[in-house]
Structure 1
Amino acid sequence: MPRTSIATVCLSGTLSEKLDAAAAAGFDGVEIFEPDLIASAARPDELARTVAQRGLTIDLYQPFRDLDSVDPGRFARNLIRLERKFDLMDQLGCDLLLVCSSPSADAVTDDARLSDQLAAAAAIARRRGKRIAYEALAWGAHVSDYRHAARLVATVDDPALGNCLDSFHILSRGDDPSAIADLAPGSIFFLQLADAPMMSMDVLQWSRHHRCLPGQGNFDLGGFIRSVQAAGYDGPWSLEVFSDIFRHADPTRTARDAHRSLRYLSELGAGSPDTDSPDAGSVVSVRVAAGPVLAPKVAETLSHIGFDLQGVDSGTGLQLYRDAGLAVVVDPTAGTVWTAPGVDPDMPTIAQIGVRSDHPASWAQRAAAYDVPVAPVSAPGTDGNADEVVRLDVTDTLAIDLRAEASAADWQERFDLVPRRTVEPASLVTGVDHVGIGIGTADWEGAMLLLRSVFGMSVDDGLDLPDAVGTMRSQALTMPTSSGATVRIVASLVPNQLDTRGPLRRRGGLTHVAFECADIVETARACRARGLRALSIPDNYYDDLAARFDLSDTMIDGMRSLGILYDADADGGEFFHFFTPTIGEDLFFEVVCRRGGYRGYGEANSAVRVAAELHRRAVAEV
């Protein structure tokens, strides 16, 4: 892993707290963001000692803005300002200054004149024993492209002037980073890294409010970093992330995630993981934190879709429901170790996903490489041995277990109480298609990074899904497995006003498990026979299906009678699904059938489902 650094602007708190967090996370150095220094009570020489005492170095002082100017008097004053910053850097013990291209109205727009002004600044830096890293701001008035900046640096040809490459400024413009590999050896003085979600907005606002850590956004940072490595850069990999979320988050947690993100990026740059990728199979179990009030309703709904009670653990009260090789464990207790901290016992939610693995202990090793703690496990279905199950916390309320069991039948005997009447599994469903989870804003960035880094999940483009109760940001992540199945998670970003740090209250439900089946019509009929009353979908929906898709009247009428919804993609893939009513405010179940390689999740039907759920509640209240 390369030498690591982080800009103090990435972290919340006082400058001292930021340095503590960076050191605790394992960073080698920091960039000092000038506003942090200005607001600090510590003098520059005191700060230098503080940094050194924490085992850190100051790798960069930044930013120096608006160096060039068409006004000769203003440029002369800027050179005096530059001298004063070098004085300060003498006290800091730092030799590298970031100079940004100017976005101001009086920026120089003639390359020859701009080269002369950069040469004048470089001469001062060389005389003072300093260096300047010149960066092309994506919104620079004249210089906004890293290739343009590199040509200016090459023209000046002074050893005190080099390039600063910032992934956000390059990738947000859609520039091709491959030309970085052609930059002159030694001309890259510094590297700043940030990811970001793909957004259509003013690039300055995008930069100031929506950057994130590598592995949390949608940029191709793997390709970017490989181009940087091809250029021979061997300096620090430094994070510069402006984020509204990070400005309010715990700096220790942010710094830990930040250091983890650089390890993940190092893997992307290498083209393969630093550690062996553990094996994984399909999802074999789901645990629902149901609480004592609504646990019977969860059990009834599971029974409707083919899951029957197979056993109870006498020590904890956990209930095992099975259908074929799948297990759903329902926790009816309140305030026990089985209920995730902060979960309202009357608000059922998904608390755990179990994924089969032949070697769970290897996942513990991979987690350790990313400094992700493995949660202690002591529950039915395991004896706490890491060779049998490894639990990784994704958020405070959701964990993923890597389990050695092939199916629920392998550990059913550990549920020591059995019902008087044994019911054979109905075999209505064949597996878990995907799991939907709600994640609050405080957990979102960390969860995305953990799922992508430790689990190697890939992300689809995020979607904004409007419905009757607001707009929800949805992000799908997938992980192909050794069994040929795909583990799919659909995460929904819960706005601040809905984030209760426990189950995420939202009328119409948010968290769910989508079970797959072979024949959606036969399965829907069987579920009806078992007592399911699926959501009633309005006739207007089926009229619209007839207009949009080439479906027979017989097929549409059959779907209408069973509450089945439909979607198709441009490649001919099809998706059929139906829903149970929501239990409490949060939880529901879905049964789906994919055909023809369909890769989506029926997102177009999300608003219809929510509206149908709200209608059901309104009718029930009359």
Structure 2
Amino acid sequence: MTHIATSVATVSLSGSLDEKMRAIADAGFDGFEVFEPDLISSPDLPADIAKKAADLGLTLDLYQPFRDADSADPEQFARNLVRAEHKFDVMEQLGCDLLLVCSSPLAGAVRDDALLVEQMAILAERAHRRGMRLAYEALAWGAHVNTYRHAWDIVRQVDHPALGTCLDSFHILSRGDDSAGIREIPGEKIFFLQLADAPHLVMDVLQWSRHHRCFPGQGSFDLARFGADVAASGYSGPWSLEIFNDVFRHSDTGRTASDAHRSLLYLQEQVRDVETPSAGNDLFAPPPPGPIENVVSLRIAAGPAKAAQLGTTLRHLGFDLTAAHSEHGLSLFTQGPLAVAVDTTVDTLWTAPGVPAHLPALAQIGIRSERPDLWLTRARALGVTASTVSMPGVADATDAVVRLAVTGATSLDLRTRHSAGAWQSAFDLAPKVVQENRACVSHVDHIALAVPAESWDGVMLLLRSVFGMVPHEGQDVVDAIGLVRSRALTLATASGTIRLSLNMVPGRPSDSDPLPAARRGGVGHVAFGCEDIYAAASAMTERGLTPLRISPNYYRDLDARFGLGSETLDAMQRLGILYDADGTGGEFFHFFTETVGDDLFFEVVQRVGGYEGYGETNSAVRLAAQLQY
């Protein structure tokens, strides 16, 4: 079976052209687009670049861009033809026969279709004489041609073998255009396909395009439907990425290239789910995901300095110290089916290269799956680094724990019941006496992870591509310090819902930061779920918990907004409980612990009536209370 060729524009990556080409090859791409500024700034001549590409096993798929080809001024158009001939000279040396021609946004652009057809026919014939082809693309901000339908109509009228169209998902979807019309374009007249995702933003489309594009699976466009329309047209050329993104342009070249290639594989899988045309047989089909249940364990790196404080907080939350490990410095706290291991040996975790996490910090999230091996093969097929961890006393390879790094500090561990039992049995020191109290919490409701800005899009892509997590609309929370960007992802399972919230704050935290992460935004925490928030809060208070103190002004405002009654409000204020409702019968009750160390804190929640949010409206109140603490 053949596969769809993958390509990427060099503008999508950081570094020199030589560094980009090596990263593109290492990531598994078949070819690349040469972005003219990268070539101009390279010390290598075009022929040398062509040789390096061949040595790396890469094809040169497109040379771009040729801007402002048409002009209402005949003299200017004549000069444009001279420019084009110079482009063809370079392309001959590169061994590349396809040139991207963009519709013009200039005031002097041709505004008459008949004249535009005439000029594009002349340009196409010039290219044909040189053995070149032109891919005509409609810029979303083009002065006259700014839709793919209009660009295709010009190509159709020219009717020249050297002229086809280029489809760019950003220019099409950013305008809200319906991509279904792509099915009506003959596949052989689509000369090139450029793909980009993007978050939904309300801003000038040119600035949106130049700064905020991202890889498929990192934004909000319906690229699966777009890709299905392209596949249905019969297009058989490369699927290429053209990404203008400020973060990518200074991020690690190899990591960004790997994310880029993974995003194309993930998109092809999504397209297969939407439609299976004849061309669909060439689309990438990764191994299917394995079964998955819920979060059952956590491992928190505390170091010797914070372990006692963390242990005290866990006991307040209803967990009991049930065992310890004689060699690995682990203490095991359990409550019902939940287990939390406190690691006293780890002094430093790293959120990103050169950026240490403040301890305590969440190091591992244990998720129940009876077939971790299936997740391992899927992750590796998508180019995600995953490892296996053998448990003492577990001989069956299918019981090995599969570990995937999510952030620099936190990994996801997929483990079977057997391996989980073996893990807990390895805690060999005598257990403490477990108090016979009713469990205060029953499950992990959600986990909020602090994600460095440069890792944000990569983490989003990993969770969506490997696990199929569904992103929800993002939130920008304004607090007493600054702005916290937050976006939740969920995965429905047979036993509930796995919820992760990615939180990003401006800047890079460091040991020299005068305000640790929690004081700058409190971005990392674990939320446990319960069946009765008042009973849980009361039981935890009896065990010594002091909930985060919330301003009385909040409860006065709550009374005005919801009219909950003085008795209810008094109980909520006494226990530090916050409240939200979704307007359709859903309610959300939650309270917080004080921070443990600098970063970590815990939340206890109760969902009623199908409430699906996270009490986002209360975030600023919680953040202000943490700052005051």
TM-score, L = length of structure 2? 0.94
**Residues 69 and 107 in structure 1, CA contact (< 8 A), matched pair in contact too:** yes
Query: 1:499 Cα shift?
Result: 6.3
Alignment of structure 1 residues 139-150 onto 2, 5 Å: 139-150=141-152
Given that 2:477 and 2:486 are in contact with CA atoms closer than 8 Å, whether structure 1 keeps it comes out as yes
Aligned to 2:345: 333
Instruction: State the secondary structure of the residue aligned to 2:339.
Output: strand
Give the deviation of 1:552 after TM superposition. 2.7
Mapped contact 1:133–1:189 kept (Cα < 8 A): yes
In the superposition, relative to structure 1, how do residues 407 and 552 fare at CA in structure 2: closer, same or farther (>3 Å)?
farther
Cα distance in 2 for residues equivalent to 1:395 and 1:384: 29
Aligned-pair CA distance for 1:416: 0.5
Q: Whole-Å Cα distance in 2 between the matches of residues 58 and 538 of structure 1?
A: 62
Task: Tell me which residue corresponds to 1:399.
Answer: 411
SS of equivalent residue, structure 2 residue 246 = coil
Bigger shift: 554-563 or 431-440? Answer: 554-563
Query: Match of 2:171, as an amino acid?
Result: H
Q: Which residue of 1 aligns with 2:280?
A: none
The structural deviation recorded for 1:128 is: 1.7
Give the Å deviation of 1:253: 1.2
Count of residue pairs the alignment pairs up = 615
Give deviations 1:462-493, integer Å, cap 9, x for gaps.
1111101110110101111132x111000011
AA matched with 1:571: T
Matches within 5 A, 1:361-372: 361-372=373-384
Q: CA deviation at 1:409?
A: 6.1
- Give the structure 1 partner of residue 540 of structure 2: 527
Alignment of 1:205-354 (within 5 A): 205-271=207-273, 274-335=286-347, 347-354=359-366
Indicate the SS of the match to 2:504: strand
- Equivalent position to 1:602, from 608, 615, 618: 615
Q: Distance in 2 between matches of 1:137 and 1:166?
A: 9
Distance in 2, Cα, partners of 1:372 & 1:501: 33
1:10 aligns with 2:12: yes
Secondary structure in structure 2 of the residue aligned to 1:99: strand
Q: How does 1:9-88 map to 2 (within 5 A)?
A: 9-88=11-90
Paired residue secondary structure (2:250): coil
Deviation by residue 1:512-546 (Cα, 9 ceiling, x = unmatched): 11000001111111111111110111121111112
Match of 2:601 in 1: 588
Q: Is the 8 A contact 1:5 1:239 kept in 2?
A: yes
Matches within 5 A, 1:114-133: 114-133=116-135
Q: Cα distance, 1:590 vs. partner? A: 0.2
Q: For residues 87-236 of structure 1, what are the structure 2 equivalents within 5 Å?
A: 87-236=89-238
Deviation of 1:569 after TM superposition, in Å, equals 0.9
List gaps (5 residues or longer) in structure 2.
Answer: 275-284
- Give 1:491's aligned residue: 502
Q: Deviation of residue 597 (structure 1)?
A: 1.1
**Whole-angstrom CA distance in 2 between matches of 1:152 and 1:345:** 56
Cα displacement (A) at 1:573: 1.0
1:66 deviates by: 0.4
Q: Deviations over 1:351-399 (max 9, x none)?
A: 1111100111111111111121223536789789552311111122110
Q: Residues 96 and 132 of structure 1 are in contact (CA less than 8 Å); yes or no, is this contact kept in structure 2? A: yes
SS in 2 for 1:186: helix
- Whole-angstrom CA distance in 1 between matches of 2:224 and 2:597: 43
Contact 1:291 1:344 in 2 (8 A): no
Classify the secondary structure of the residue corresponding to 1:528.
helix
Pairing partner for 1:359 from 363, 371, 388: 371
* Identical counterparts, % of pairs: 57
Question: Offset of 1:509 from its aligned partner?
Answer: 2.3
* 2:346 alignment partner AA: A
Distance 2:516 2:398 in 1: 31
For residue 419 of structure 1, report the CA deviation from its aligned partner: 3.2
Counterpart CA distance in 2 for 1:501 and 1:166 is 44
Q: CA RMSD in A?
A: 2.3
Q: Is the 8 A contact 1:310 1:321 kept in 2?
A: yes
SS, match of residue 288 in structure 2: coil
SS of the aligned residue for 2:323 comes to strand
Match of 2:277 in 1: none
Q: Are 2:481 and 1:469 equivalent residues in the alignment? A: yes
Q: CA deviation at 1:446?
A: 1.3
Q: Which stretch shows the higher mean deviation, 471-480 or 194-203?
A: 194-203
Compared CA separation, residues 235 and 339, structure 1 to 2 (3 A): closer
| SS of the residue 2:105 aligns to | coil
User: Could you report, residue by residue, the CA deviation over 1:300-331 in whole angstroms, capped at 9, with x for unpaired residues?
Assistant: 11111111101111111111111100011111
Q: Whole-Å Cα distance in 2 between the matches of residues 379 and 527 of structure 1? A: 34
**Distance (whole Å) between structure 2 residues aligned to residue 424 and residue 90 of structure 1:** 80
Is structure 2 residue 563 aligned with structure 1 residue 559? no
After superposition, the C-alpha distances for 1:68-118 in whole angstroms (9 at most, x for unaligned) are: 111110001101111111111111111100000111111111111111111
Q: CA deviation at 1:558?
A: 1.8
Do the aligned partners of residues 606 and 514 (structure 1) sit closer, same or farther apart at CA in structure 2, a change above 3 Å counting? same
CA contact (8 A) 2:371 2:398 kept: no
Shift of residue 420, structure 1, vs aligned partner: 4.2
Q: Supply the AA of the counterpart residue of 1:389.
A: V
SS in 1 for 2:249: coil
**Partner Cα separation in structure 2 for residue 338 and residue 167 of structure 1:** 36
* 1:173-201 deviation line (CA, Å, top 9, x unaligned): 11111111121331211000111111111
Moved more, 416-425 or 333-342: 333-342
SS in 2 for 1:498: coil
Q: Which residue of 1 aligns with 2:583?
A: 570
